Structure 1
Amino acid sequence: NSWGFCQTEGFSQCVTNQPGILVGGSFSGLRDISESVIQASSAACSASRLIHAKGGGLGTMPAAEETPAAMFRDVTREPPRVVVALCQCGDALTTALDQERLAAAVNLWGGSRQVVFVDQMCTREGWEDLIQALRSAGANRVLIGACVPYVFGRKLRELGQALQLNPALIEVVDVRSMMVGGDEVSSDAIQRDVTARLAMAVGRLRGMEPMLPATVPVIQRALVVGGGIAGMTAALAIADHGFEVDLVEQSADLGGNLRGIYRTLSGDSPQELLEKTITRVEKHPKVRVFKGTRVMASTGRPGRFMTTL
């Protein structure tokens, strides 16, 4: 646009005039952090809706018979067998630690079976090497020592499926940050600290109850209260992903406050947006509209709510 930022379509801060190209953050204008997060969420939702509209999806749903109890093997009657997998992070682990001493210490802990060293666990090749090493080790509990443990959240679920092991029995601890201490930290101190952290994590894994996760039925249906432009937009976003939506509006017509706005400072027509959105809502096969209706009571929990209209 005239200020050097990406021009977005009217009434949207993320949609451009090129289908499939969405904008987030300061690329479209000056934004603070909270605005960037909201805009990024909108862009992600728009991208997901576009993918679903073309027959794709962002995830795979397990088959009906593929419940967690069937996916994971039952290790409740097995003694704890913990395999410690350490990422070498290039040569960082080799340089900072005595691997033989560390492996000898781990083997002394009750329930610890062995130590495996994997290089660059964060890469695809390293991850495949890890899976292969753990499969051959026959572990029923896994401890991974690596950097930035928070990036392993989704990967642990994948690892659990590959090993047929409940992800609750897999844990990641940070050992990389303990190796970054400068010249004033001796190698013996690093060795001692890393060994102590691994020992605590192994002890925690040994004491974990290896119960299979309980299955909780979830009703994949949404209720949106309020039929203004925000409520209709939310209902369409959910419905475009294939889920049924009930939209409740207490007045006789949809639109809310937007019905009283006829022009914006930029010259766009809110009434055109309103008419287009109402038409989409009323014709969408996944949306049921309740006009002149109020929510009287709502109880339950996520996945199973009971609401009285």
Structure 2
Amino acid sequence: MNKTIILNSRPVGKPQLSDFKIVDEEMPHIKDGEILLKTKFVSVDPYLRGRMSDAKSYVPPFELQKAMTSGIVAEVMESQNDKFKVGDFLSGMLPWREFQTSTGENLLKIDDQLAPLSNYLGVLGMTGLTAYFGLTEIGKPKKGETLVVSGAAGAVGSIVGQIGKILGCRVIGIAGTDEKVELLKSEFGFDEAINYNTTKDMTKAIAEVCPDGVDVYYDNVGGSISDGVHANINRLGRIVVCGAISIYNETKIPQGPRVEHFLIRKSALMQGFVVSNYIDKLPEGMKQLSQWLAEGKLNSTETIVEGFENIPQAFLDLFEGKNTGKMIVKI
């Protein structure tokens, strides 16, 4: 039988394992023009939480009793499509199934000789491209400027900080444990890092490590952490809003400091985005990330969980900060 993970119920607040269900389906058989894919690696990402709710957004919500979907690397096991041969590796958005058929549409052929397959879900996938375009297109960092990154030890944040260093910025990271703080400095090259769980006054802490203020803030978390950074933003500063994991599980929109007076007083820019905004530039981003990775300028740290049945738990672990770098499930 072929295992599939479906959305069993829509979560209220923080998702639970009971919101997912593993079901057995018949093994698929390919027809002319199709390929049979075996899942090798599955990406779990915080944004999936939004798609579990029945709310209008930039992508449709997941359907109840239907398979969950995310970035997947798969191997071609059988082929009746001239564009693909047995043994090819492909990446793209696919359902959480052990085996599935496809025409290959919207799937990218990848080379396991250039980089480990899991990298195509991380530094060379949506994660890396999100970091690259958010920082370069909205943040527009200049050499010598101060860049602050929240969720800095996570998949996107760790790459943002490294790109910031490549571009000549002074980089400050915000993470949730002392171990991650040390990792940001020792492995990812951040100049300073702050543990938000042991920091009572984030505004003061940011001011202490950013005596010249904050020029670019790459925001992966939102909430009170971001309030502290906003209070230190410089004139003509840029705030890149990539994620808001601190409030994804809230049942109502939390109230907090208003940002308008910071933006007006400092003539600052605050812009949200999704990586698909830059779909026409994806080859450019992939080329640059690949070059930096080959040159040893990017550290592609990953947290690997093994086992198809552990995909839901790996996803839940994101909200507990149990990942360093990209969270990936190996099948």
Coarse TM-score class (shorter-chain normalised): under 0.3
Larger Rg: 1
TM-score by length of 1: 0.22
TM-score by length of 2: 0.21
Q: Which has the higher contact order (CA 8 A, sep 6+)?
A: 2
